[in-house]
Amino acid sequence: MREVSDTIACEGCDAVYQRAPLQPRDVARCPRCGSELERHAGNQRRRILPLTVASLIMFAIANLFPIVEIELQGLRSQTTLAGAVLALMAEGMSVVALLVLATTLLFPLLQLCILVWLLVPLARDRQAPGFAWLVRAMQSLRPWGMIEVFLLGVLVAIVKLSSMATVVAGPALYAFMALTVLLTSVLSFDPRGFWELVFQRQEGA
Question: Which residues 62-91 are close enough to bind other proteins by CB under 8 A?
Answer: 67-68, 70, 72-73, 75, 77-80, 83-88, 91
Which of 57, 181, 195, 200 binds other proteins (CB under 8 A)? It is 195
**Pairwise CA distance, residues 67 & 167, whole Å:** 11
Of 88, 107, 96, residue with least CA distance to 148? 107
**Neighbouring-strand partners of residue 87:** none
Shortest spacing between CB 46 and other proteins, in angstroms: 12
Of the two residues 53 and 193, which places its CB atom closer to other proteins in the complex?
193
Which of 164, 203, 204, 205 binds other proteins (CB under 8 A)? It is 164
| Helix, strand or coil, per DSSP, at residue 5 | coil
Stretch that binds other proteins, among 4-12, 48-56, 109-117, 122-130 (CB under 8 A): 4-12
**Residue type (1 letter), 121:** P
Shortest spacing between CB 115 and other proteins, in angstroms: 17
Buried-exposed string 128-152: b where 16+ CB fall within 10 A, e elsewhere: beebeebbeebeebeeebbbeebbe
| Helix, strand or coil, per DSSP, at residue 161 | helix
**Pairwise CA distance, residues 135 & 195, whole Å:** 9
Residues 6+ apart with CB under 8 A from 158: 68, 167, 169
Of the two residues 71 and 125, which places its CB atom closer to other proteins in the complex?
71
For position 37 contacting other proteins by CB under 8 A, the verdict is yes
Give the interface size with other proteins as a residue count (CB under 8 A).
Answer: 86
Binding mask 120-159 for other proteins (x = CB under 8 A): ------------x--xx--x---xx-x--xx-xxx-xx-x
For position 51 contacting other proteins by CB under 8 A, the verdict is no
| Helix, strand or coil, per DSSP, at residue 77 | strand
**Pairwise CA distance, residues 183 & 62, whole Å:** 13
Of the two residues 77 and 126, which places its CB atom closer to other proteins in the complex?
77
**Pairwise CA distance, residues 128 & 118, whole Å:** 6
Shortest spacing between CB 109 and other proteins, in angstroms: 17
Of the two residues 28 and 122, which places its CB atom closer to other proteins in the complex?
28
Shortest spacing between CB 121 and other proteins, in angstroms: 17
For position 27 contacting other proteins by CB under 8 A, the verdict is yes
